[in-house]
Structure 1
Amino acid sequence: MKLKGVRGAPDLLPQETARWQRVETATRFLLQRYGYAEIRTPVFERTELFVRGIGEGTDIVEKEMYTFIDQGEVNLTLRPEGTAPVARAYLEHQMAAQFPLVKLYYLGPMFRRERPQSGRYRQFHQIGVEAIGSDQPAVDAEVIDLLWALMVEEFRIPDLQLRLNSIGDAACRPTIRDRLRRYMTDRSSALCPDCQGRLTRNPLRIMDCKQPGCQHLVAEAPKPLESLCEACAAHFTEVRGLLDHLKIPYTIDERLVRGLEYYTKTAFEVINPRLGAQNALAGGGRYDGLIEVVGGPSTPAMGFAVGIERVIASLPSAEEEDVLRGIYVATLGREAQRAGMGLLQELRRRGMRGLMNLEARSLKSQMRQANKERVRYCLILGDEELGRGQATLRDMMKADQTSVELVHIVERLMGLEGV
């Protein structure tokens, strides 16, 4: 029987990974400009970290985690999200002693056992950003500015929407929850089965339920902004003022809540309306209570996560087209092949993308391969041309060619456009 991959954990084939590499490279450059340093945490952690950090009443903990017992009888879980592991590493390595504001980012796979569908996978990948150590609204604004720059300026995804809300803190969250719980309890028969369970555990999760009946109730339900305490209201006003100053467009979405219990105050999402049901490309907010929940002192923090699969699906068609780049050396004859290998060695070590056929195929076959490899130039070299110190250089984009001297050929090729 032929073995197949696991459903919901797709392979990324070579023709797809170029787009992933572009996204990852652009991300690293931008985050470094904002002063963020990369952190890499293990793909599995002790299960208790996620139960305490994410919350027992969440769908992730109750339904979606991949949990197992290892040979040492330790209960482990493949990470379903990246913030709790970063919080654990922040505490374990005493990172607060190094900087008052610790700015970290990560890229990597996460795992949730969900029903696979377009834009939702069991193994998926995220870009995560965490700023730990400050409760200032300016941190919220800079993190959101960073996300907007990443999505709009680096990835150049059109028609995005930034949605913003505040969901209160430990002082006003009980009031927010109690008002919503009382409202929904009187109408509980109209809630879906999942939301009936959320009503006692985490009523705020009802706010982002996608079932039509629940959405109808939420439209008239008490909103978090109506019950903010004075401090949370002032914080949110300052965040909005800074975003206006930075010219970041946003819409207030009073129904927006985050699915993880550690979020407080500012909450936000970036939406791509073109993606249909799974249209949230990124989301985040402030999580001032998480560090304390996982065993540390009370520590304010702010961050977001970006779904890389949904970013890839959102890239404009122009970004998905392969760019002609590099050179293919087509050779005819044993001596020409040896000379071509030496030439490619020099070009590659100078940073050029260089390819050739090593199986002595026909020139026609090699030219077909050059087209498949999407190179900008093809250098055609035969034993006879080698004896004359010449070769033919073909521009694959312009479909023209010229005879070139092999003397100083490396410098000549390195000076070409599109290599």
Structure 2
Amino acid sequence: MSDLFATAGLDAAAPRPLADRLRPATLPEVVGQEHLTGPDGALTRLLRSHTLGSLVFWGPPGTGKTTVARLLANETDLYFEQISAIFSGVPDLRKVFEAARRRRATGQGTLLFVDEIHRFNRAQLDAFLPVMEDGTVTLVGATTENPSFELNAALLSRARVLLFRALDEGAIAKLIARAEDLTGQALPLTEEARGVLVRMADGDGRAALTLCEEVWRSAGPAETFDAEALQRIVQRRAPIYDKAQEGHYNLISALHKTVRGSDPDAALYYLCRMLDGGEDRLFIARRLVRMAVEDIGLADPQALVITTAAKDAFDFLGSPEGELALAQATIYLACAPKSNAVYSAYKAATRAAKDNGSLPPPRTILNAPTKLMKRMGYGEGYRYDHDEPDAFSGQDYWPEKLGRQHFYAPTDRGMEIRYTERLAHWERLRRERRGQD
């Protein structure tokens, strides 16, 4: 074997990445996924029942999805075949399926592991269905995106989705301890710096081990790094945040709900998470405007002014100074009185408009630009409100077949308190004026 490596110009003992050297050999060695691989874990139970079936592993990077797939193949005596959806097309799939059929004819099953399976389009995903149904392959797909959004229903109905969790600090610490045992050297970090490194990994075991390697490479003899030195050496790992996928929707949802829940500190935290992740600033500005009209409304009409001004300020200042305007608007919205009365009224009025068809307004309030229309009674009896006492006529503006409706119900919060009083005053006048008619 050494001659083969020498011929190829390779060294059989060439250094391997720490993550590869520490790859678990059995399911119980996998850290951070005890709900799947522990004594009572979902995968452990499946192996006991000898009914593995097709699976979809859903979870963030560096949580052991590929490793667990390999271990499952070992545990079930299946041939392990791995492909990546990024580099494979339908012709590649046909070759894989044909090889699996040949193995099946000799009594050897195939566990087909598809990394980044969400990258396949619908037609490519449909190609898996026949070989899953006839048992040609046991499919194990891995995805970092929500399968409900990214995989078609036909495939999901034939596979069980298992959730892989981001590694907690305890699991990351266990990985680091294993790395120290394997290398025979302690990480040259203070306790504080060690904790910072764990947090830098952001739940990704592979990232944690890569950071460890960078630390060992950088450390001189008898050198120990504190937290500040650690951050200088390894820089900062970019947050896990895909602006086009679930992380995008999760964080904007968190921002919206914390504003609605009047928690300015939490709202500012999620805003900064999005900014730090590179989110489109104008997308955030548009969502802030939506919050102003949906969750605050007329309880504080200034909210809409503030948010549109924040958008304009960002356009004017650019980044990074313009982000401060978005932060100011976020805090203002979180601290403002809340009301969805306008939002609810709009939805109710929309339903009424759709459900009742094209009802004509009363002729009293219609213009009569022609003599014919005047003879037909258009505009007859209309009372000009500015000429009435209190600038209020109290006349009926509703289609006769629909009758008077009530959509807007102001709250007792913020400016809407005044609207409640004003509407009640007009309703009293309306009854009085109609009593006089």
TM-score, length basis structure 2: 0.22
| Highest RCO, 1 vs 2 (Cα 8 Å, sep ≥ 6) | 1
Structure (1 or 2) with the greater strand fraction: 1
Structure (1 or 2) with the greater helix fraction: 2
Q: Select the structure of larger CA radius of gyration.
A: 2
